[in-house]
Structure 1
Amino acid sequence: MQGLEYFSFSDLWSPFFMIFMLLVATLYAFVVGPWRGWFGGEAVPIGRQAVFYFAILLLYLVHGGPLSLLGHLMFTFHMSDMAISYIAVPPMLLYGIPGWLWRWAFDRKFWRPLRFLANPLFGLFAFNLLFSFYHMPDIHDWIMVRYFIHGSFYVLLLAAALLNWWHVLCPVPEWSRLTSLRKLGYIFANGLLLTPACVLIIFAGEPLFAVYNDPQVWAKAMGYCVSGDPGRLLEKFQGPAFFNLMTGREDQQLGGIIMKLLQEFINIWALYAVFMQWFRKERAQEEDPALDRSASGRLNNV
């Protein structure tokens, strides 16, 4: 991709966001390390810690690193960033953060009025509706050129994505509300609910998003990730077409396809993981009937 050499180090790497993410990673290292006794937690395996750090790295790259800038130049990269941020990263964060830390943070009385947020239907629809709403062309263009709303909406999307994945990979067993078979249906429904937005993007007969096709709107949106007056970009590049070897429609189609393919790949992994968990549990109950009676008793008490 041509043109990246025209951007400064701070444009490409967002040093302030880098420092913030390093502070998050450092805080996590202390909480799961020398401070874990304060939270009553046990040691977290190195593998789970590595997954958390990798998730933090990915979040930095797509929201503060070069992928963030690329996501403002091409719709293909924008949708790749969306898939990484809100479909790949949330399960990694849930896996990397130990159950005892979730209990410490949310097992408190003042959270009780917000218990409806833990309903699986809320988690299922909140993320998919927010994501689809964001990718309505007029809404997307409006948010992209309002920097505070842009950043706030991305935080909201991440919270909704964590709630969405919580019911598939719940790190606190006693808080899980879905059986393994219901989790399979939940994952399948997730794929269906995101399909209309992807279909609209892929099969549209013309470019839908002014941010990637109108030079004036693009320059204003670029103010989110470049320093100085973004209007000067028009003097150098005349618009986003300078960076893109594809037409606006082709770029849009490829972005929608990448989003859907990445979602389906991760959903297939989740279906496999949940199915194998269910299968191993069934085998264990066959080999030890006492486990089956114990599990039935726990379900009756829920």
Structure 2
Amino acid sequence: MAIFYLFDFRSLWSPFFSMYLFLILFLYYLITVKYRKCFKQSEPLSKNQAAFFIGFILLLYLIKGSPIDLMSHMMLTMHMVQMAFLVLIIPILFIKGIPDWLWKTVINIKLIKPLFRFFTKPLISMLLFNVLFSFYHIPLILDFSKTNNFYHALMHSLLFFLAIFLFWPVLNNLNESIAMSGILKTGYIFANGALMLPACALIIFADKPIYQTYSNPETWFNALALCATPSSLLRLESAGPELLKIFNPLGPLHDQQLGGILMKTVQEIVYGVIIAIIFADWYRKDQKEALEEERKAYNLKNNNKEIANQ
């Protein structure tokens, strides 16, 4: 592929970002394993928690440090792939990868506790995430963020953290958090799917390209400056407008439609899996309660028999 010939190693693989992620992983090891006993009520790190957190680090690097990040500035399809992982899959891995005792330690910090309680209220978290997601994909906003490092990083960071708040009500295991029944969790997930639909529909059903970043050669080239080194940009500059066709063979309109379809498809799959897990937990809980009621009824019956025999 031309991408591997025209761009240098730093542009393709973001070595500084990989070092940053390695540092986060090392700090995770220190807190959850090496110096775990410095925290009250800490528990040994489970294999599942470690696997979830490592998966979080690897996937985050894949979408923000590998050529996928570079390609997200070339094709809306790849931007939507990046978004799907960033807000629908990676936050889940992050929540499940942090041990419950560590969540309690962080959440109970005096300044964090009221803020966390507010932002994880189901209605608040649902509205904030979906409004920001739709706002970000307004053409004027997306085009601007794709040519400004600060706002680009800010929007992605906000969406990631709001996605954590979004999934918290249905994924956390803390007794201190908001308790939702199975039916409320299911309704909450369905509502989130409905609120994401307008942004995806705008992208899928538009009859012309709506983003200058992916249709205007000059804007497209400027967007690459966010993740490509100056030396790589110099190699591209001589090729001119034809580069847009080379790196986006689908054409701006079909690329745009495919991106919207992929985002909605991944969202439906992720939400479907979550709903299936909710129903499975709900069924197990009902079965457990039914067996407990049967046991109590059986014991009561035996006790009555013993009293009658006496």
CA distance in 1, matches of 2:64, 2:192: 24
Q: Structure 1 residues 15-24 or 60-69, which shifts more?
A: 60-69
- Runs of 4+ aligned residues of structure 1 deviating over 4 Å after TM superposition are none
- Answer yes or no: is the 8 Å Cα contact 1:130–1:157 preserved in 2: yes
2:12 is aligned to: 12
Identity %: 37
Q: 1:249: how far off?
A: 0.4
CA distance in 1, matches of 2:109, 2:233: 49
CA distance in 1, matches of 2:141, 2:231: 24
AA aligned to 1:236 is A
Superposed CA offset, 1:83-118 (max 9, x none): 011101111111111111111111122234423212
Task: Find the residue that maps to 2:153 and give its secondary structure.
Answer: helix
CA distance in 2, matches of 1:185, 1:51: 26
2:150 is aligned to: 148
Task: Find the residue that maps to 1:33 and give its secondary structure.
Answer: helix
Structure with max Cα Rg: 2
Q: Structure 1 residues 229-238 or 181-190, which shifts more?
A: 229-238
- 2:210 maps to 1:208: yes
Distance 1:200 1:291, change over 3 A: farther
Q: 1:4: how far off?
A: 3.0
TM-score where L is the length of structure 1: 0.92
AA aligned to 2:167 is W
Task: Find the residue that maps to 2:45 and give its secondary structure.
Answer: coil
Superposed CA offset, 1:55-74 (max 9, x none): 11111121121110111111
TM-score where L is the length of structure 2: 0.90
Unaligned runs of 5+ in 2: 297-310
2:303 is aligned to: none
- 2:242 maps to 1:234: no
CA distance in 1, matches of 2:231, 2:13: 18
Q: 1:47: how far off?
A: 2.2
- From 260, 274, 277, the counterpart of 1:270: 274
Q: 1:237: how far off?
A: 4.7
Distance 1:135 1:30, change over 3 A: same
- From 187, 190, 197, the counterpart of 1:188: 190
Query: What aligned pairs does 1:209-224 form with structure 2 within 5 A after superposition?
Result: 209-224=211-226
1:296 is aligned to: none
Q: Structure 1 residues 168-177 or 189-198, which shifts more?
A: 168-177
AA aligned to 1:49 is A
Query: What aligned pairs does 1:45-194 form with structure 2 within 5 A after superposition?
Result: 45-114=46-115, 115-194=117-196
Q: Structure 1 residues 167-176 or 148-157, which shifts more?
A: 167-176
Distance 1:280 1:224, change over 3 A: same
CA distance in 1, matches of 2:147, 2:232: 11
- Answer yes or no: is the 8 Å Cα contact 1:120–1:177 preserved in 2: no
Unaligned runs of 5+ in 1: 293-302
- Answer yes or no: is the 8 Å Cα contact 1:284–1:291 preserved in 2: no
Distance 1:152 1:273, change over 3 A: same
1:297 is aligned to: none
Q: 1:157: how far off?
A: 0.8
Superposed CA offset, 1:242-264 (max 9, x none): 21221110000111111010010
Q: Structure 1 residues 63-72 or 269-278, which shifts more?
A: 63-72
CA distance in 1, matches of 2:205, 2:156: 26
RMSD: 1.8
CA distance in 2, matches of 1:262, 1:279: 26
Superposed CA offset, 1:147-196 (max 9, x none): 11111111111110000010110142331332221101011111110011
CA distance in 2, matches of 1:26, 1:178: 34
1:21 is aligned to: 21
1:32 is aligned to: 32
